[in-house]
Amino acid sequence: MMNKVTLILGGARSGKSTYALKLADKYKEVAFVATCQALDKEMEDRIELHKRARPKHWQSFEEPKDVDLLLKKIPDIFNCIVIDCLTLLVSNLLLSGSNQKEVEDKVKKILSVLKNKKAHVIIVSNEVGLGIVPEHKLAREFRDIAGRVNQLVARQADEVWFLAAGIPLKIKN
């Protein structure tokens, strides 16, 4: 497969990452791009669990903000690239002072770089718009930007999956 983009959406603990790992497991050369930053002990523990779930022969790259620049540097030896997760990237950019346009522009740059990759790209992102309206301004801004970013990626993706209770539902083919 060449230049295929798969987006995997779902809520917290819906099985998104597990499904992404399952899809990527059939490839020999996998690059795993992690966007999470360990800001506390709980996040350190979560990151460690995610690392242990990945096959040892995969190459991991950690990049909280400049995923577009990292993707340019990742060599074409990889036939699959997993980006986990887009929502954390949005959060990292927002917390570092980026506005909606800057976040969307960053995601557009990522999509532009991906057009030149030969690998199957699997992008994981949270669907955060299914719950109540958040009480705080920053949380509403995050929810809105994450929703817009998911739409941007879904439009470009070849296929989109939605996970609920560990069950993958194909919503775009």
| DSSP 8-class letter at 132 | P
50 tagged catalytic: yes
Q: Which residues contact 144 (CB under 8 A, 6 or more apart)?
A: 100
Alpha helices of 6-159 — where are they, by DSSP H?
Answer: 16-24, 41-53, 67-73, 86-95, 100-114, 137-156
Q: 137-156 and 100-114 are packed helices; what angle lies between their axes, rounded to 10 degrees?
A: 20
> Among 50, 57, 120, 136, which one carries the catalytic annotation?
50
Residues noted as catalytic: 50
